């Protein structure tokens, strides 16, 4: 681990940019998530299967986007509360390189590894 101090304003800007990108992506919308027409007279079986698959992928993308937005909001609250960059399990600093990779992480690598087991 490094002893580098966390530049919270840098990570605030990074999180705000991530939020903006996610919201812009959400605003674009995707018709693949719309209800699939199951009329067998208008559409073949393979086309319906493709449409159902595209719908499932779109819905999962939306779910992940919302989940990431929630994690961004939580990280921004931690910055405001001066708790950003500290592991929620052991209260030790999170390596800035880990935060650079994913600024929404809440655990150091050791605690995250333990939690996965």
With pLDDT > 70 as the criterion, what percentage of the chain qualifies? 82
The reported pLDDT for the residue numbered 35 is 55
**Mean pLDDT lowest among 31-40, 76-85, 94-103:** 31-40
Query: Dihedral sign, CA of 20, 23, 25, 27?
Result: negative
82 DSSP 8-state letter: T
Write down the pLDDT at residue 106.
96
Amino acid 41: pLDDT: 57
Least confident of 2-6, 23-27, 53-57, 72-76: 2-6
Name the CA radius of gyration of the chain, rounded.
20
pTM: 0.74
d(CA 84, CA 37): 47
Task: State yes or no: pLDDT of 2 exceeds 60.
Answer: no
Tell me which residue has tokens 């007279």. 41
Q: Which two tokens stand for residue 61?
A: 């993308």
pLDDT, one tens digit per residue, over 81-114 is 999 999 999 999 999 999 999 999 999 999 999 9
DSSP conformational letter for 41 = T
pLDDT surpassing 80 at residue 34: no
- How far is residue 98's CA from residue 108's CA, in Å, rounded to a whole number? 8
Q: Evaluate whether 58 touches 33 at the Cβ level (below 8 Å).
A: yes
């Amino acid at each position: 681990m490094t002893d580098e101090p966390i530049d919270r304003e840098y990570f605030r800007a990074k999180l705000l940019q991530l939020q903006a990108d996610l919201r812009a992506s959400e605003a674009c919308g995707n018709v693949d998530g719309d209800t699939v027409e199951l009329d067998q007279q208008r559409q073949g079986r393979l086309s319906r299967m493709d449409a159902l698959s595209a719908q499932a992928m779109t819905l999962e993308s939306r779910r992940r986007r919302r989940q990431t937005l929630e994690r961004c909001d939580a990280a921004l609250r931690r910055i405001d509360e001066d708790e950003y960059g500290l592991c929620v399990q052991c209260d030790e600093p999170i390596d800035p390189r880990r935060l650079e990779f994913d600024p929404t992480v809440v655990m150091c690598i050791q605690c995250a590894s333990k939690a996965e087991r």
